[in-house]
Amino acid sequence: MLKQCELNEVFYSASIREIIDNEHSIQETIKRIKRGDALIIRSLYSEDLLNRICNYLSDIAKCSLPYYQKIEEGCANNHRVVSWDPRSYTQACFHQFSFFPWNQDVFNLFEKAAPVFQLKNLLSGLPANKFLGTESEDGCISRLSFHFYPSGLGAMNKHRDPVDTHQLTVPLMLMNKKGRDYIAGGGFAERSDGSKVYFDNLMEPGDILFLNARVPHGVDLIDPETKNSNFINDKGRWTTIFAVNKLHGNKNISNAIDLERSD
Please write the tens of the pLDDT for every residue from 227-246: 988 898 889 999 999 999 99
Q: What is the pLDDT of residue 1?
A: 35
Average pLDDT, the chain: 95
Report yes or no: 33 and 124 within 8 Å, Cβ to Cβ: no
CA distance 87 to 148: 20
Angle at 198 between CA 84 and CA 109, to 5 degrees: 70
The predicted model gives 104-123 an average pLDDT of: 98
pLDDT at residue 51 above 90? Answer: yes
Q: What is the pLDDT of residue 82?
A: 97
Report yes or no: 237 and 59 within 8 Å, Cβ to Cβ: no
The predicted model gives 26-48 an average pLDDT of: 97
The predicted model gives 127-155 an average pLDDT of: 97
CA distance 187 to 146: 14
Report yes or no: 90 and 256 within 8 Å, Cβ to Cβ: yes
Report yes or no: 92 and 82 within 8 Å, Cβ to Cβ: yes
Q: What is the pLDDT of residue 26?
A: 97
Q: How confident is the model at residue 3 (pLDDT cuts 50, 70, 90)?
A: low
Q: What is the pLDDT of residue 233?
A: 83
Q: How far is residue 7 from each of residues 12, 211, 258, measured CA to CA in Å? A: 15, 8, 17
pLDDT tens, residue by residue, 60-110: 999 999 999 999 999 999 999 999 999 999 999 999 999 999 999 999 999
From 124, 116, 130, select the one nearest 40 (Cα to Cα). Answer: 116
CA distance 41 to 202: 11
Q: What is the pLDDT of residue 228?
A: 86
More confident position, 227 or 184: 184
pLDDT at residue 2 above 70? Answer: no
Burial pattern 184-220, b for ≥16 Cβ within 10 A else e, equals ebbbbbbeeeeebbbbbebbebbbbbbbbbbbbbbbb
- Please list, in sequence order, all residues whose beta carbon lies within 8 angstroms of the beta carbon of residue 233, skipping any fewer than 6 positions away: 150, 151
From 171, 162, 172, 169, select the one nearest 246 (Cα to Cα). Answer: 162
